[in-house]
Structures are given as C-alpha cells and as structure tokens.
Amino acid sequence: MTEPSSMRGKSVLVTGGTGGIGRATAEALAALGARVLITGRDTARTEAAAAGIRATSGNTEVEALAADLSSQAEVRRLAALVLDACPRLDVLVNNVGGFWAHRHETPDGLERTFALNHLAPFLLTNLLLDRLRASAPARIVTVASGAQSMGRLDFDDLQGAARYSGARAYNQSKLANVVFSYELARRLDGTGVTATVLHPGVVSTGFSAEDPSTLSRVVLPLIRPFLKNPARGAATSVHLASAAEVEGVSGKYYVGLRPRTSSPASYDTGAAARLWRISADLVGLDPS
C-alpha cells in the first residue's frame, strides 16, 4: 500500500461529514491539502464540524453545507450549491447513511432508510456527474457495509410498506450501494471518472442513535470498546479518494484497503439495470 497522495488543488465533497466516519474522512483529506466541503442536517452543527476540521487539519479550505439528504428537494439544493461553489469537483464521497428500527417516511413519502442510504447518493451523484466528468480524472467513493452480504433487493417491496424490519431495510440499502456503484462504473467506463464502494469495518459512531433496535441497545455498549475508532474506519474511504495506486480503478468493492468479492447478488446486472430504472423514476431522472 502506498501513502495517500497530496490532495492540494483538489476539491472534495463528503456527505455526512459532521461526525463519525464522515468527519474523520473529511479531516484526513483536508490534512492532505484538499478543499473539502461537508454536509450535515443541522446548520450550527455542520458549521461547528467544519471549524473543528479546519483547526485539526490546519487547512482553512473546509466549508459547511447544511442539507437533509433524506429529502430530494434538499439533495437538489445541495447539488446546486456544490455546482456554484466548485468549478471543479475531483472527489465525491457518498458517506451519509443511517439505520432506523421502525419505519419512517421522508417528505417525499419514501421509506427513510432506502431514501437516505440509496436514493440520496443515487440522485446527488447523477446531479454532479457532468461536473465530475469535466474534472476527470475524478472519483466517486460510496460507503456501503459488510451488511450488503445479507441484503436482498425486494423489488416487490423496496419501501418496506408490506413488512418492515430495520435490519432488512439496512441490509438491502447497503446491497443497493454496491449494485449502484457497479452499474455506475459500467456507465462511466472511458470517461475518466471512477466508482468504487467499500465496507469501512465495524466502527464506534452514533450510528442508529435516533431509533435503535432493542438488540443494539443491549449489545452496542458491550462491544463498543472493541470497535474501530472513526479514523480507522475512514481509512478505506481516504485511500480510495486519494491514493495514487487506485487511480483508474473502478467497479471494485474494498474491505481493509484491498479489493474483495462482494455478495453474489451484487453482480446481477439485470437487477442493477432494474434498480437504476426504479431509482431514476423515484427521483425524477431520465434512466438513460
């Protein structure tokens, strides 16, 4: 493994950058010299996180963009802000995500886990694609999870309306991250824009704090001392965003800085095309 390359002169967007893996990713990329934009739902918290990253990294080019990415209107507003602020965009890190034990609906009437974990990066990436292409070589890095191996794309009930399980919804959304990244890589072949996806490991963050399951309430306090800290959890994201050795690498799933084989379901190109069409319809994009 090579050391991360200097990111001076490069612009990076990290979604969900106010805490956990996202903030650690933003801090590391800022320390490498990148101009870093982070997103968060709350304006004050996002501004405070950006200030903290500036102080920790010694890089003054860290900016806060508040947006609730479970709302498609907010995703579109964020994309417009990024396009206005960034004449070039070298790296997009789709990091934002969450888990909810109970079914919640977004302002768009969609199940929240599917909307935030899959549709938000799908829509944001597509809205920023022209800028990424114009900035090539550019990279799209999406944070999935090892939970993808337990996921199943239930095309008859993607929204969990018939039956909902927090674990099932989360696993499905993380499989969707991998399937989306592979399909995106195929569509971007030859453009100079790469798409990779990763499992960060099991990291000690505020994950699921809004609506935890009974199991997580019991188990997390017991295992938290053994979990990765956010900086270690961010290592793969930082590697894929910055390392020279992965320049041009696309359509790969990474675990622990190495490409790995993802679940058999993730390689189903028919399911990938179907998921793309459905996702495009749900966010109002042309599927082509």
Residues assigned a catalytic role: 170
Residues 172-199: b if buried by 16+ CB within 10 A, e if exposed: bbbbbbbbbbbbbbeebeeeebbbbbbb
Q: How far apart are CA 150 and CA 231, in angstroms?
A: 26
Whether residue 176 contacts residue 142, with contact meaning beta carbons closer than 8 Å, is answered with no
Q: Where are the alpha helices (DSSP H) in the chain?
A: 20-31, 43-57, 72-85, 112-114, 120-134, 166-188, 214-223, 230-233, 235-242, 269-283
Nearest CA to 55 among 26, 93, 82?
26
- DSSP letter at 95 equals -
Amino acid at 41: R
Whether residue 170 contacts residue 117, with contact meaning beta carbons closer than 8 Å, is answered with yes
Whether residue 127 contacts residue 76, with contact meaning beta carbons closer than 8 Å, is answered with yes
Q: Which two tokens stand for residue 248?
A: 């041009």
Residue 66 φ/ψ, nearest 5 degrees: -85, 130
